[in-house]
Amino acid sequence: MRIRPLLLPLATAAAALGTLAFVAPASSTPLFLKGVDARSGSSVSSIDTGALTNAPAAPGATFDLSVWELQEPVGSPGSPTTIPSSRLQGANGFQDAYFYSDARDGAMTFWAPEKGVTTPNSHYARSELREMNRDGSPANWSLGGTHRLNATLRVVSVTSNVCVGQIHLGEGGPSTKPLVELYYRANGDIVLGTENSPSGGQTTHAVGQVPVGKTWSYTLGVSGGHTIDLTVNGSTTHYAIPSSFNSYQQYFKAGSYNQSSSSSTTKGARVAFYKLTVAHS
């Protein structure tokens, strides 16, 4: 008697460019793609052939990635690999063990292990998007006007602490600091870190609490040149921007920027996004 292989169906997802709505999966069973465990990044000796056969389209199929560049925790020391927006776009766009569409719910998923290649100014690995202009040049916008980063996400797993959104300093001075970082901690606390000045020092603010694995939303932005605006699950807070930042341009970042390091390539932070858009006016 021939035994027919069992192929597991993909979870269905309703998606529209810029407005994405998915149902988060209840389980965290590993998914194997292309010979790696897509949830840990580790090599595997056996592959879930059903999942491989039904491998989902890349994140670029349902997310507008024309205004993003991807940085991954691989490459040479001090020089992480970056993937330009041109390679991220479309159903056949880039994806790997660090950046992929989850086969069960279509989420754009970022994996950052505790051990990985970092930038020269950080001890922590990241799988993270950096805002770009549509012509492929790095985005740099002034504090004047209104700028918004909107996201719906869930932290699938985290060892200690992960940054899921940033407003980062661009052109205008020597500082490589962020203006704002939005953190999610392993106990479920959501914390905003606002930089005291371009030379450093950060003040933290508790802004919410969501259990690991649960979906939540945030809007992070600035308005009027002087105010940071944050909304987490409908609750909004505001923070003054010190005048020492006035000379700097800014840009958004989003993904999994792990805030802990060790020799482990299996421990880290995995973050799944169901919506990610930027708006400037």
Residues 177, 184: Cα–Cα separation, whole Å: 19
Q: At 209, is the pLDDT very low, low, confident or very high (cuts 50, 70, 90)? A: very high
Residues 51, 38: Cα–Cα separation, whole Å: 11
State pLDDT tens for residues 30-89. Answer: 333 333 333 333 333 222 223 333 568 999 999 999 999 999 999 999 999 999 999 999
Output the furthest CA–CA distance in the chain (Å, rounded): 77
Range from 18-27, 49-58, 268-277 that averages highest in pLDDT: 268-277
Is the Cα dihedral 232, 234, 239, 244 positive or negative?
positive
pTM, two decimal places: 0.82
Can you name the residues that pair with 227 across neighbouring β-strands?
A: 223, 240
State pLDDT tens for residues 128-161. Answer: 999 999 999 999 999 999 999 999 999 999 999 9
